[in-house]
């Protein structure tokens, strides 16, 4: 590892922390435009974070210390996830610490903590949200793992940097299994980031909410950290999707110029991806909660078929 590696690692973390709220703002803006509303400012998420950090923290009377550390744990998990997903460069010193399987484990860790925290206060909504979050999780996690495995089978590795390296810097090749994996990944990321067919990030309608029910009791800095963490999660998922399915432009090892070129490329790809996500959300309808397991089971099975196709076609 060299200085440039550490530099790109640091750059990635700071970029993720800074750009994540911007990405959320960008998606919100597009969604408003597509739905013929006047859009909030691009920087609205930053203002919201600032406001929440400034506010007093109101804690439920019998909340335990588990409840109080959870926002920090979730934030830490998401920051690490952003650090190990190659978005700018494939030369990351932190990346060997966690491969694709550990990345899924990292998301699972955050999910378990936030579900436990939601159960801690003991209100009906919290437990309801925890149950639904775990329901989504137990199907989305294996589906995500299978998506990553499809890519691992192609590159004969579970290390994220090697996977992206193989996909980005080899001769142009078409992998049919990635078509399945791509569809499955889109479905999983919609579910995992509380997006429209599964959850609606914009409402507090009690019968349908999932993510908002989890964090209903949180306020002040805790809420700010959780909001930031959820936009980091969206950022991490977007970067992972871009790295797996549109890997062009990610810098190879040891070249400062490529690193400089990778940055505008990433921002361009994220902007396009965000607009596409907003479009996808605008054209689909929220589904009933009972249909969600079916939706996710479909994603899971599609990912499995992707792996099968990979082995069967012998690519």
Partner 1 sequence: MSAFITQFINLLAAILLMLAFAMLSQRRILSLIYLYTLQGATLVAATAIVGFVTHQPHLYFSAAITLVLKVLLIPMLLHRVIDRLNVRWDVETLINIPTTMLMGIVLVMFSFYLAQPISQMSATIARGTLGIALACVLLSFMMMITRSKAVPQVIGFLSMENGLFFAATAATYGMPMVVELGIALDVLVGILILGVFMFHIREQFDSLDIRHLEKLKED
Partner 2 sequence: MPLDWILMLVLAWLLIGSAGVLALRRLTLVARLLFPAGGLVGLLLLVAAALALREAPASAVLPLGLPSLPFHFRLDSLAAFFLMVIGAASTGISFFAAGYFRRGEGTPPGLLCLEYHVFLASMVLVVLADDAYAFMVMWETMALSSFFLVIANHRLPEIRRAGYLYLLMAHIGAIGILLCFGVLQANTGDYTFANMRAQHLSPFWASLAFLLALFGFGAKAGIVPLHVWLPEAHPAAPSPVSALMSGIMLKTAIYGLLRVTFDLLHTPLWWWGVLLLGLGLLSALYGVVFAAVQVDMKRLLAYSSIENIGLLVAGIGLAALFAAYGMHPMAALALTAVLYHSVSHAFFKSLLFVATGSVLHATRERSLGKLGGLIRFMPWVAWMTLIGALTSAGLPPLGGFVPEWLLLQSFLFTPGLPNAFLNMLVPVAAALIALVAALAGYTMVKFFGVIFLGQPREEKLSQAHDAGFWERLGMLWLVSGCVALGLFPVPVITLLDAVTRPLVGAGLGAAVSGSQWLLIPVSLERASYGPALFLLGVAVSLALAFALVRAFYHGRLRRAPPWDCGYPWQNPRMQDTAEGFGQPIREIFSPFFRIERSLPTPFDAQPHYRVSVGDHFWHWLYLPVARLVERLARLIGLLQRGRIAIYLLYSFVTLIAVLMVVKR
76's CB contacts (< 8 A; 6+ apart) are none
Three-state DSSP state, 70: helix
176 binding partner (options partner 2, partner 1, none; Cβ < 5 to 8 Å by kind): partner 1
Name the burial class of residue 173, with classes exposed (0-12), middle (13-18) and buried (19+) by CB atoms within 10 angstroms of its CB.
exposed
Asked if residue 297 lies in contact with residue 140, where contact means CB atoms within 8 angstroms, the answer is: no
- CA dist 196 and 18 (Å) reads 25
Taking CB under 8 A as the criterion, which residues in 286-315 touch partner 1? 293-294, 297-298, 301-302, 304-305, 308-309, 312-315
Instruction: Report how many residues bind partner 1 under the rule CB under 8 A.
Output: 23
Q: What is the DSSP letter of 268?
A: H
| CB nearer to partner 2: pick between 46 and 138 | 138
| CB nearer to partner 2: pick between 28 and 189 | 189
- Closest CB 131 distance from partner 2, rounded Å: 5
Torsion angles phi and psi, residue 263, rounded to 5: -65, -55
Q: Draw the binding track, 230-269, toward partner 2 (x: CB under 8 A; -: no contact).
A: ----------------------------------------
Using the rule CB under 8 A, is 109 a contact of partner 1?
no
Instruction: Report how many residues bind partner 2 under the rule CB under 8 A.
Output: 78
Asked if residue 16 lies in contact with residue 86, where contact means CB atoms within 8 angstroms, the answer is: no
Using the rule CB under 8 A, is 280 a contact of partner 1?
no
- Closest CB 184 distance from partner 2, rounded Å: 11
Name the burial class of residue 205, with classes exposed (0-12), middle (13-18) and buried (19+) by CB atoms within 10 angstroms of its CB.
exposed
Taking CB under 8 A as the criterion, which residues in 127-186 touch partner 1? 172-177, 179-180, 183
- Closest CB 140 distance from partner 1, rounded Å: 14
- Choosing from 10, 122, 284, 313, the residue that interacts with partner 2 (CB under 8 A) is 122
| CB nearer to partner 1: pick between 263 and 315 | 315
Using the rule CB under 8 A, is 157 a contact of partner 2?
yes
| Residue 251: strand pairing partners | 89
| CB nearer to partner 2: pick between 76 and 197 | 76
- CA dist 300 and 149 (Å) reads 12
Place of tokens 């200085």: 3
Asked if residue 142 lies in contact with residue 115, where contact means CB atoms within 8 angstroms, the answer is: no
- Choosing from 187, 225, 226, 299, the residue that interacts with partner 2 (CB under 8 A) is 225
Using the rule CB under 8 A, is 202 a contact of partner 1?
no
Three-state DSSP state, 197: coil
Place of tokens 């009933």: 288
Taking CB under 8 A as the criterion, which residues in 177-196 touch partner 2? none
Using the rule CB under 8 A, is 72 a contact of partner 2?
yes
Using the rule CB under 8 A, is 27 a contact of partner 1?
no
- CA dist 29 and 278 (Å) reads 9
Instruction: State which H helix or E strand residue 288 sits in.
Output: none
In this structure, what token pair is assigned to residue 59?
């804690």
- Choosing from 92, 98, 266, 302, the residue that interacts with partner 2 (CB under 8 A) is 98
- Which range of residues in 22-30, 38-46, 168-176, 307-315 is near partner 2 by CB under 8 A? 307-315
Instruction: State which H helix or E strand residue 305 sits in.
Output: helix 292-313
Contact residues for partner 1 (CB under 8 A)? 172-177, 179-180, 183, 293-294, 297-298, 301-302, 304-305, 308-309, 312-315
């Amino acid at each position: 590892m060299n200085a440039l590696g550490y530099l790109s690692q640091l750059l990635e973390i700071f970029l993720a922390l800074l750009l994540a709220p911007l990405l959320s703002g960008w998606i919100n803006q597009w969604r408003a435009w597509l739905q013929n509303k006047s859009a909030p400012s691009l920087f609205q998420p930053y203002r919201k974070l600032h406001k929440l950090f400034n506010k007093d923290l109101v804690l439920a009377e019998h909340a335990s210390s588990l409840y109080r550390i959870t926002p920090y744990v979730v934030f830490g998990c998401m920051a690490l996830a952003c650090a190990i997903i190659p978005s700018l460069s494939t030369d990351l010193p932190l990346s060997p610490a966690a491969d694709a399987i550990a990345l899924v484990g990292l998301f699972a860790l955050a999910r378990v903590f936030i579900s436990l925290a939601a159960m801690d206060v003991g209100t009906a909504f919290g437990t309801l949200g925890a149950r639904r979050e775990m329901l989504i999780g137990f199907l989305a996690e294996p589906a995500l793992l299978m998506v990553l495995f499809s890519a691992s089978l192609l590159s004969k590795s579970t290390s994220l940097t090697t996977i992206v390296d193989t996909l980005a810097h080899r001769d142009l090749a078409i992998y049919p299994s990635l078509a399945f994996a791509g569809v499955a990944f889109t479905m999983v990321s919609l579910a995992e980031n509380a997006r429209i067919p599964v959850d609606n990030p914009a409402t507090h309608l009690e019968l349908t909410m999932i993510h908002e029910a989890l964090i209903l009791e949180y306020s002040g800095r805790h809420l700010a950290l959780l909001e930031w963490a959820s936009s980091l999660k969206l950022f991490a998922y977007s970067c992972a999707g871009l790295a797996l399915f549109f890997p062009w432009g990610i810098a190879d090892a040891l070249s400062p110029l490529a690193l400089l070129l990778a940055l505008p490329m990433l921002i361009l790809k994220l902007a396009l991806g965000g607009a596409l996500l907003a479009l996808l959300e605008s054209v689909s309808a929220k589904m009933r909660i009972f249909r969600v397991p079916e939706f996710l089971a479909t994603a899971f099975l599609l990912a499995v078929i992707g792996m099968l196709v990979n082995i069967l076609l012998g690519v």
